[in-house]
A and B are shown apart, each in its own frame.
Chain A
Amino acid sequence: MWILLEYGAWAISAGILLWMLADAARVNREFDEDTLLSSLEGIDELLEHGDVPEAKEH
């Protein structure tokens, strides 16, 4: 039984990893790189409305 579990674990791990890689690749294709990299740091409620200061400076 344990032998089966070992093979099962290999198979499931491989499946999960492949799914994540495939999903990542799909996202890379579907979305613009600038969109993916667009998150900004911080933004907390201490700044009232979560406005992002200085974000569009450059």
Chain B
Amino acid sequence: MSDQTANGNAAGAEGQPSERVGLLRVLGPVHVWALGVGIVLVGEFMGWNFSVGKGGALGALIACWVIGLLYTCVAMIDSEVTSTVAAAGGQYAQAKHIMGPLMAFNVGLYLVMAYTMLEAADALIVGDLLIILAEQTGYSGLDPKPFVILIIALLALLNYRGVFMTLSLNFIITAAAFTSIIILFVGVQPWQPGAILKHQDLLTDLPYGWIGVIAAFQFGIWYYLGIEGTCQAAEEVRSPSRSLPLGTMTGIMTLLIAATLTWYICSGLLPWEYLGQAIVPLYDAARMTGSTTLQVFLFVGTMFAATASANGCINDASRAWFSMGRDRYMPQWFGAVHPRYRTPYRSILFLIPIAASFAFTGLLDQVITFSILSGLLGYTFMPINMILFRKKWPLGTIRRGYVHPFHPLPAIVLMVLCITTFFATYLGFGTQLLAMMFFYVIVSLWFSMHRYKYVRRADQFTMNWPKPEGY
């Protein structure tokens, strides 16, 4: 894109630089897959199992598939919109073009919050794993802080120096982590039920009945949270209209497989009460097989998954923050691109201390809940966005890279599932839900009354589209 932009606008008006510095268009579908799956896969190694605590093992399986359906809708809708609105910031840029500034500001914040907070949680997992490792080698009382900082700093450096290396590395470690799940699956001999896997004796009836199944939806989200981050790469992908749908759809398939395998392995090895509160369930499952090799594989797999996730989160959060800065939704200073590495370097730097502070304030539970709920708000936005998108620009009026089938069915299904998941969150986490809504209401007012005055109106609309219908 460097050449195109540089030539495209050489004759800028006064005060405009003669050469534009933009993000670099170097990524392929593989990177999109690595970005999407990389962020999410850590959810199979930890987090999803809290859904077992909320609804029992079978309840968690139902949640896994129902939420899988939710995310399939998300992936379909996102593929269509983002293959058409191909801009950094993903859903933020979509909202800006389709729904309007205030919505876009909120969506941008959902993204930054969800990813930065997830990044903090990922870094803490790496720290926890090192504590386990240190204890096994006979050293107790390891201070995880320097390692948590180190992992954040290293990944930030990688992101700072260029997106191609960042996501190529993500591809390798994500693929390795996925392989470790497959290896564990083969290792527990699923063709011989009863030998290692003991589903028959471990599975119980639904401990809370059907309301527990609905409550389990909340953490069922962990299986897939972040797959929609693929859109953030839109401005750096070589051919977005092809690569983004391809990477996103193969990503969601990978995750559906990984989620089901993970459930199958863990529920066949661990009593549900234990599983419902375990910190690293897949690693525990590997321990239960008694095989040191599997244990090592899963240790490395968990470590890689957490690293890949943190890496993708830095990438996505900084893109979203950068795009908001570029449009002056946030201070303009953040809209800068590094002239050599072509990355949003100021946003990357700014988010380092924030991620670290989330990790060290001892608010991890709060942070994770906030992260999930910000994601959920983002999914609630999508069906509204999709319906308006088809209404303002019906098929045929603009060129779409990908058109998803059965509209408006996916949008309606997604909306129903989002409402159900809000209810699931209310069951047990009602106060956090309200506190977070309070935050978004206040920032919305702040944006409308204060920030929006710095925004150039027409400049926000950058797509080469005709006027929307009805305006």
Q: Which A residues are within 8 Å of any B CB, using their own CB?
A: 1-2, 5-7, 9-10, 12-13, 16-17, 19-21, 23-24, 27, 31-47, 49-58
Contacts and interface: CB of A to CB of B under 8 A. Distances in A.
Contacts of B85: 42
A57 B20 CA distance: 16
B335 A37 contact: yes
A20 B157 contact: yes
Contacts of B149: 9-10, 13
Contacts of A10: 146, 149-150
A56 B139 contact: no
B257 to A, nearest CB: 31
Interface of B: 1, 4-5, 8-9, 11-13, 15-17, 19-23, 84-89, 93, 134, 137, 139, 142-143, 146-147, 149-150, 152-154, 156-157, 160, 234-235, 239-241, 323, 326-327, 332, 335-340, 345-346, 349, 352, 399, 401, 456, 458-459, 461-464
Contacts of B1: 43, 50
Given A2-B142, A9-B146, A37-B335, A55 B9 contact: yes
A40 B2 CA distance: 11
22 contacts: A1-B139, A6-B142, A6-B143, A13-B150, A19-B157, A21-B349, A23-B345, A24-B346, A27-B339, A32-B17, A37-B336, A38-B22, A41-B87, A41-B89, A41-B235, A43-B22, A45-B239, A49-B8, A52-B5, A56-B9, A56-B11, A56-B13
Contacts of A49: 4, 8
B93 A41 contact: yes
Contacts of B22: 38-40, 43
A51 B174 CA distance: 35
Contacts of B335: 37, 39
Contact of B339 (A36, A46, A57): A36
A45 B323 CA distance: 20
A29 to B, nearest CB: 12
| A-B complex: 4 closest residue pairs judged by Cβ atoms | A50-B4, A9-B146, A44-B86, A36-B336
B16 A53 contact: no
Contacts of A53: 462, 464
Given A10-B149, A42-B235, A49-B4, A56 B12 contact: yes
Contacts of A50: 1, 4-5, 8
A10 B244 CA distance: 38
Nearest to A31: B339
A54 B467 CA distance: 14
Given A20-B157, A39-B335, A42-B85, A58 B17 contact: no
Nearest to B159: A20
Given A16-B154, A50-B8, 19 more contacts: A6-B146, A13-B149, A20-B157, A36-B339, A38-B19, A39-B5, A39-B20, A40-B462, A41-B235, A44-B86, A44-B240, A46-B241, A50-B4, A50-B5, A51-B4, A54-B461, A54-B462, A55-B8, A56-B12
